[in-house]
Amino acid sequence: MSVIYIVMPIAFVLAAGAVVGFIWAARQGQFDDLESPSIRVAVDDDSPAPKRPTRA
């Protein structure tokens, strides 16, 4: 029964961290654009990567 005195504070700290992380992400605008990510997956980037100059 005494293990509950250890587990409950850890659970509250983790839950508070999740709430703080969600609030931070919402204020930073992480959830503003819901359409572009799904379109970005379908668009294929066929342009070749720029070549690096080789050392001789």
**pTM here?**
0.58
Distance CA 23, CA 33 (A): 16
Q: Does residue 31 contact residue 25 with C-beta atoms inside 8 Å?
A: yes
Question: CA-to-CA distance for 16 and 10, rounded, in angstroms?
Answer: 10
Task: Give the residue ranges of the chain where pLDDT is below 50.
Answer: none
Give the pLDDT confidence score for residue 26 in this predicted structure.
Answer: 93
Cα angle 34-20-37, degrees, rounded to a multiple of 5: 15
Q: Where are the domains of the chain?
A: 1-29
pLDDT at 42: 76
Q: How far is residue 48 CA from its own chain's centroid?
A: 28
